A and B are shown apart, each in its own frame.
Chain A
Amino acid sequence: MATIDSDNGGTREGFFRRLRTKLNKPDSWLSYDLANLFRGRAIDGAALEELETRLLTADVGVEATNEILESLAQSVRRKELDDVDALVDALKNAIFGILEPCAKPLDISGSRRPFVLLVVGVNGSGKTTTIGKLAQKLRDDGKSVVLAAGDTFRAAAIEQLGVWADRTGAAMVAQQAGADPAAVVFDALQSARSRGTQVLICDTAGRLQNQAHLMDELKKVKRVIQRADPSAPHEVLLVLDANQGQNALVQAREFNEAMGVTGLALTKLDGTAKGGIVVAIARQLRLPIRYIGIGEGADDFGVFDARSFTDALVEGAEPSE
């Protein structure tokens, strides 16, 4: 298995079924009365405008929405689309076309030991919970894991990570609150090395991307890791909250500029937030999307898959076939 997601087919399918269900609550966006909307109606400007509304309401953003609609409108002009099903398929293809190049699972199977994952993001995006779930997944796969308690700022952040370490049987390296996060991470890397640990996951304090001094602190963490292991960090994982609007794009851009983000995790897709921001980010930044979180349980976390995700967005709660 090349990826850390070594679930067997059954569980994997289960995850996507849950994803589909969770993303398509009765009041979900595109699936909701999409068929009714166009039935008995020519596919005209008004229909496309209604689609525009729906994409915008899903936080897809103006640019990505325009691009998708333009491609649909072209097909309509060429008379390639003449009924509702064709339009829905075309919509799915357009969204899939944007997402597919970004669906790149994280591969940690290489010889690097430890594989160093640095987890970053704004306050409250779900970094620590994501680390917990990821650690669980890795432990289930029989991998050894060390967690670095790099959030030394927020009250009780170290203890929060400690609970996850206990739950998952991962080791944790921590210092006292207020310690230099770079020093904590450096210690953790040395410790992981001497134990021959396979994966090191570094937590960091949440920070808003426009706080220059906090971004500098993060850069320093990365530099210190690189000093110890020039090939590391092997993944800089940016955690994004699906409830966020257009600012998530700015987050992705700024964190990428500062840190060289190599992957995204999208959390909290189990509400009614539509996750359309993924489309906007994929289109603008083409960053690999690694994981999505659809709930608080350790199972509610999986590898991002463009087809399933697109289907889940566009189709109803039950797969159509």
Chain B
Amino acid sequence: MAAMFDNLTSRLSRTVDALRGRGRITEDNIAETLRDVRMALLEADVALPVVKRFIEGVRAKALGSEVQQSLTPGQVFVGILHRELVALMGGAAAGFTLRAQPPYVVLLAGLQGAGKTTTAAKLARWLIEAQKKRVLLVSTDVRRPAAILQLERLAAQVGAGFFAAEAGAAPAQIAADALAQAKRGLYDVLIVDTAGRLHVDAALMDEAREIDRVAGSHERLFVVDAMAGQDAVNAAKAFGSALDLTGVILTKADGDARGGVALSVREITGKPIVFVGAGEKPDALEPFDPERMATRILGMGDVVALVEQVRRDADVDEAQRLARKVAKGKGFDFNDLRGQLEQLLKMGGLASLMEKLPQHLTRGAATQVPGDREVRRQIAIINSMTRRERRQPGVIDGSRRRRIAAGAGVQVQDVNRLLKQFQDMQRMMKSMKGGRLARMLGSLKGGRPPGFL
């Protein structure tokens, strides 16, 4: 599955390359390309009707001359896709003016497990920290066991007020009481959490409407899981018509889903995505960035920007030397590793590079990315080795490890860890001998990013 998508850029390059030299792009010769795009978007969980409309838009643009005249049509074509996605997902994010007679009431609604309660707490925290507002949280979820207690705990964590409902009160009653409490307590914002509900459950959708009416909410936000599939459009449509939504919050975006649902829900509700939840902590709430989302849906990462940066900052000769070395099967030693680490620092550290890579490439690595400090420490360890140790790491025994650790001002475990990492890299290099890596590094010289070749 992923494999097909990973190759979108190269496949598009191939099919679009084939168009070059022809008189003009016609419906016929672009059909295959558009089919690739269609499949790719479907694999990213963009809803089919939305995919169809999108493809129509792209077809119209692609039939122009821009693609045809370009030297790198694949790249240009991906660029068109990207721009179209950004245009569709962007637009005025008008939410959260907070311009109303306080308390400003925010209602969160969505399916079970979308992340409403966590989002309520994150939103409260953002309003408190960034907007300096006094926030009251209330849960009207009388159905899920301990849901109310969950929000109460989170409210305490983020420093928001919490309205404790009377036992046995109905959801709408709780909302009304909370609103009264918000007024009495001079809160700026009241955030109303609701029980997860299915859009086909008429009774519960009525209940949501009733809560909304009683609370007189200014914002009605649809909370949707970034991993959601094709059916998200049906839910979005139903919630949209029941609640006159003002915006969307996309949750669990720290996963590796391509998040095509962002495009679908934006299209179907016509409402902006105001926030993105991207982590388990209460501060993991970000403004929505259509550029990044488009990049992610296309599964390409900011590859273009990355390659430019590498070309600008990297020592190409050094990379080529390493590539030749690996290609010849000569051992990768600590001198090489130090060179790599130094380049890394020059380019702003691994973390900033990782950000630009497609999610699926960096899966699982995000938490293990060493910061600049860690990189400097590793360089210090290598600097504490003798020349022989750097060339022949096999000689590094227990007493040498202790000496190196002392020299670099680190623990022996740190040295051990670096040695282990080094061995892993060496193994990897051996397996890539003369293969991918060499080509990858070699391609830097040509100035063309791999994948656009």
Residues of A within 8 A of B (CB): 25, 27, 53, 56-59, 61-63, 122-126, 129, 132, 153-157, 159-160, 162-164, 208-213, 215, 241, 243-250, 254, 268, 270-274, 277, 284, 296
Query: Interface digits, B141-161 against A, CB 8 Å rule (1 contact, 0 not)?
Result: 001111101111110010000
Q: Does B65 contact A (CB under 8 A)?
A: no
**Chain A: minimal CB distance from B386 (Å):** 34
Q: Which of B42, B147, B199, B365 contacts A62 (CB 8 A)?
A: B42
Option from A160, A245, A248 in Cβ contact (under 8 Å) with B150: A160
Q: How far is the CA of A155 from the CA of B436 in the complex (A)?
A: 46
The reply to whether the CB of B267 lies closer than 8 angstroms to some CB of chain A is: no
Q: State in angstroms the CA–CA spacing of A132 and B143 once bound together.
A: 14
| CA–CA, A243 and B367, complex, Å | 28
CB-defined contacts of B198 to chain A, threshold 8 Å:
270-271
Contacts of B364 in A (CB 8 A): 210, 212, 215
Partner of A209, one of B200, B228, B256: B256
A213 cross-chain contacts in B, Cβ below 8 A: 367
Residues of B within 8 A of A122 (CB): 227, 252, 255
Q: How far is the CB of A292 from chain B (nearest CB, A)?
A: 15
Q: Does B261 sit within 8 A of A, measured CB to CB?
A: yes
Given known contacts A155-B157, A249-B1, is B229 in contact with A123 (CB within 8 Å)? no
Within 8 A of A (CB), among B179-220: 198-200
Q: Are B231 and A59 in contact (CB under 8 A)?
A: yes
B residues near A272, Cβ cutoff 8 Å: 199-200, 231, 234-235
Q: Quick one: given A56-B48, A163-B145, are A212 and B368 in contact (CB under 8 Å)?
A: yes
Contact B149 A210 (CB under 8 A): no
Given A126-B113, A208-B252, A159:B146 Cβ within 8 A: yes
Closest to B365 in A: A212
Residues of A within 8 A of B199 (CB): 271-272
Contact between B234 and A244, CB atoms less than 8 A apart: no
Docked-complex contact B252 and A123, CB < 8 angstroms: yes
- Determine which residue in B43, B47, B146, B260 has the highest number of CB atoms from chain A within 10 A of its CB, and name it: B146
Q: Which of B113-132 touch A at CB < 8 Å? A: 113-115, 118
- 17 additional A-B pairs beyond A56-B42, A124-B252, A247-B45, beta carbons within 8 Å, are A57-B47, A57-B230, A124-B115, A155-B154, A156-B153, A160-B147, A208-B252, A212-B365, A212-B368, A241-B227, A243-B228, A243-B229, A246-B43, A246-B44, A254-B363, A268-B111, A284-B1
Distance in angstroms between the alpha carbons of A59 and B364 in the assembled complex = 25
- Chain A residues near B147: list those with CB within 8 A: 156, 160
Contact flags B252-272 to A (C-beta < 8 A → 1, else 0): 101111101100000000000
**A163 close to B146 (CB less than 8 A):** yes
Residues of chain A with a CB closer than 8 A to B146's CB: 156-157, 159-160, 162-163
- Kindly state whether residue B280 has any CB partner on chain A within 8 Å: yes
Question: Which residues of the other chain, B, contact A250 by a CB distance below 8 angstroms?
Answer: 2, 256-257
A211 and B362 alpha carbons, distance in the complex (Å) = 11
A286–B180 CA distance with the chains assembled, in angstroms: 55
The 9 closest A-B pairs by CB, nearest first: A245-B229, A124-B113, A245-B45, A163-B145, A156-B150, A155-B153, A247-B257, A160-B146, A273-B231
Write 14 A-B pairs (CB below 8 A) sorted by A numbering. A56-B48, A62-B1, A123-B113, A157-B150, A159-B146, A159-B149, A208-B254, A209-B255, A212-B364, A243-B111, A243-B228, A243-B235, A245-B257, A247-B256
The contact of B113 among A125, A249, A254, by CB within 8 Å, is: A125
| Cβ-defined contact, A271 with B231, below 8 A | yes
- B88 CB to nearest chain A CB (Å): 19
Interface residues of B in 86-129 (CB under 8 A from A): 111-115, 118
Which residue of chain A has the shortest Cβ distance to B51 in the bound complex? Answer: A56
Taking the complex as formed, is B366 at the interface, i.e. its CB lies under 8 A from any CB of chain A? yes
A244 touches B225 (CB 8 A): yes
With a CB–CB cut-off of 8 A, which chain B residues contact A164? Answer: 145
Residue B232 interfacial (CB < 8 Å): yes
> With a CB–CB cut-off of 8 A, which chain B residues contact A53?
48
Q: Which residues does chain B contribute within 8 Å of A210, judged by CB atoms?
A: 254-256, 359, 363-364, 366
Which of chain A's residues have a CB closer than 8 A to the CB of B118?
123
Docked CA distance A114–B228 (Å): 36
Q: Answer yes or no: B4 CB below 8 A from chain A CBs.
A: yes
Query: Given that A123-B115, A155-B157, A245-B45 are contacting pairs, would A63 and B366 also be in contact in the complex, using a CB cutoff of 8 Å?
Result: no
Report A-chain residues with C-beta under 8 Å of the C-beta of B354: none
Give the chain A neighbours of B257 by CB distance below 8 A: 244-247, 250
A247 touches B227 (CB 8 A): yes
Give chain B nearest CB distance to A271 CB in angstroms.
5
A118 to chain B, nearest CB (A): 20
Q: Which of A56, A129, A162 has the most CB of B within 10 A?
A: A56
A25 to B384, CA, bound (A): 70
Known: A63-B1, A160-B145, A272-B200. A247 touches B255 (CB 8 A): yes
Q: A231 to B198: give the CA distance in the assembly, Å.
A: 40
Q: Is the CB of A124 within 8 A of B254?
A: no
Q: Specify the chain B residue showing the minimal Cβ separation from A166.
A: B145
Residue B39 is within 8 A (CB to CB) of chain A in the complex: yes
A residues less than 8 Å from B115 (CB atoms): 123-124
Find out whether the CB atom of A241 lies under 8 angstroms from the CB atom of B113: yes
Nearest CB of B to A194, in Å: 28
Q: Which residues in B have their C-beta under 8 angstroms from that of A273?
A: 229, 231
Which B38-63 residues sit within 8 Å CB-CB of chain A? 39, 42-45, 47-48
> Which residues in chain B, 309-325, are within 8 Å of chain A measured between CB atoms?
none
Which B379-414 residues have C-beta < 8 A from chain A? none
Bound-state Cα–Cα, A246 to B299, Å: 13
Docked CA distance A248–B231 (Å)? 14
Over the window 322-362 of chain B, the binary record of Cβ atoms lying under 8 Å from chain A Cβ atoms (1 yes, 0 no) is 00000000000000000000000000000000000001000
| Centre residue among B112, B143, B153, B199 by max chain A CB count within 10 A | B112
User: Which chain A positions have C-beta within 8 A of B234?
Assistant: 27, 272
- CB-nearest residue of chain A to B234: A272
B363 smallest CB distance to A (angstroms): 4
User: How many angstroms between the C-alpha atoms of A58 and B1 in the bound complex?
Assistant: 16
Of chain A, the residue at the smallest CB distance from B363 is: A210
For residue A214, give the distance in angstroms from its CB to the closest CB of chain B: 8
Which residue of B has the minimal Cβ distance to A160? B146
- Which residues in B have their C-beta under 8 angstroms from that of A248? 227, 229
A271 and B367: CB pair below 8 A? no
Which residues of the other chain, A, contact B367 by a CB distance below 8 angstroms?
211-213
CB neighbours (8 Å) of B231 from chain A are 59, 243, 271-274
**Residues A153 and B150 in contact in the complex (CB < 8 Å), given A63-B1, A211-B254:** no
Q: How far is the CA of A162 from the CA of B146 in the complex (A)?
A: 9
Pick the contact of B230: A56, A209, A215 (CB < 8 A). Answer: A56
Query: Contact between B230 and A59 (Cβ–Cβ < 8 Å)?
Result: yes
Residues of A within 8 A of B258 (CB): 246-247
A62→B111 contact, CB < 8 A: no
Within 12-61 of B, Cβ neighbours of A (below 8 Å) are at 39, 42-45, 47-48
Tell me if A246 and B45 are in contact (CB < 8 A): yes
